[in-house]
Amino acid sequence: MANGSAPVTVAVISWNTRALLQRCLRSLAAYAQDGVADVWVVDNASNDGSAEMVRDEFPWVQLVAPGHNAGFGPAVNLVAERTSSPWLVLANADTAPRPGAIEALLDAAAADPGAGVLAPRLVLPDGCTQHSVFAFPTVLFTFMFNAGLFHLSRRLSDRLAIAGKWDSTRARRVPWAVGAFLLLRREAWDDVHGFDPRQWMYAEDLDLGWRMRTAGWATRYEPRAVVDHHSAAATTQMWGPDPRPRWQRSTYGWMMRRFGPARTRAIALMNLIGTAARYVALAPAARLAPERWAEHRRALVPWIRSHLAGLGRRSSVERYR
């Protein structure tokens, strides 16, 4: 086990995002130089020269090259197994923390000792804040969302972390947060035994947040910590410009393991009905613009397929890669 002197270990997970990885490591250089963080990179068998770039340009970085695409969660586990710092940061290669971001997360963690996960404000390339906090996809939440009940109350919408209706400027405890960049309390991480290796890609952050809550740990959002995020730089290479339906299918795989087939199928059915209802509601206006209507229909097909997979057999979504 490698025991660095820094209180924070940063695990950067990379797959064919060489330029963004370079940006990420440059943003972490000051943290390493100041002794705040030891930085590790797990390169998931990139073929764009990412590993070579790390070796040549960032000799202070610990490089792990497993020789295959281990996925995100299992790759973070590789670093956690080799280190023992009290804090662990997991980071996508397409993120870049702004100065003071990690310190702000550490301050928030000190003020809330029950928080096992600390999430920053993610800022997209256009300067907008990314919606990065979500409710757990329970039967009750799925019903309320698809029935549009969140429209009845602004406070309810904020509590349910509905995109476009959630106040991203307020620090608070939240259900779970996107795993692009998270600070984890090592005690909490050890308590839940890290990432579930069965969740190879997507929903591993949802699963971590769920198991943290089950173990009595909270997730806290801290907007003073700002991290730039290119968003989906690697996954769009795998699954196209809109990988969200793929995320949904992986989420159904997670539900099968955590909720069981009956609740998973109930949720998938409500999502399918809700998707169909929104499709029908948009139809009259969309037909006035045939090109947009055709694009809308094409975008809808992967969602329908994902929800149908959730209604199917366990094997159709579990371990989906």
307 in Cβ contact with 268 (< 8 Å): yes
pLDDT, tens digit (0-9, with 9 covering 90-100), for 53-64: 999 999 999 999
Question: Which position has the higher pLDDT, 320 or 227?
Answer: 227
pLDDT, tens digit (0-9, with 9 covering 90-100), for 125-160: 999 999 999 999 999 999 999 999 998 999 999 999
Q: Is the pLDDT of residue 85 over 60?
A: yes
Q: Which of 87-96, 98-107, 172-181, 243-252 has the weakest average pLDDT?
A: 243-252
pLDDT, tens digit (0-9, with 9 covering 90-100), for 99-116: 999 999 999 999 999 999
Q: Is the pLDDT of residue 164 over 70?
A: yes
Question: Which position has the higher pLDDT, 285 or 195?
Answer: 195
CA–CA separation, 18 and 24 (whole Å): 10
Q: Which of 66-70, 80-84, 192-196 has the weakest average pLDDT?
A: 66-70
* Mean pLDDT, rounded, of the chain: 89
Q: Does domain 8-131+168-236 have CATH number 3.90.550.10?
A: yes
pLDDT of residue 3: 46
CA–CA separation, 76 and 253 (whole Å): 20
227 in Cβ contact with 181 (< 8 Å): yes
Mean pLDDT across 189-195: 97
Global pTM value = 0.89
Helix orientation angle between 244-258 and 261-286, rounded to the nearest 10 degrees: 150
Confidence of residue 312 (pLDDT cuts 50, 70, 90): confident
CA–CA separation, 212 and 189 (whole Å): 8
Among 145-159, 170-184, 189-203, 245-259, name the most confident range: 170-184
pLDDT of residue 316: 53
Confidence of residue 241 (pLDDT cuts 50, 70, 90): low
Q: Is the pLDDT of residue 239 over 90?
A: no
pLDDT of residue 28: 98
185 in Cβ contact with 109 (< 8 Å): yes
Q: pLDDT exceeding 70 applies to what percent of the chain?
A: 87
Mean pLDDT across 1-27: 88
pLDDT of residue 318: 53
Q: Is the pLDDT of residue 298 over 80?
A: no
Question: Which position has the higher pLDDT, 198 or 218?
Answer: 218
CA–CA separation, 249 and 232 (whole Å): 16
DSSP 98: P
Domain boundaries, the chain: 8-131+168-236, 242-316
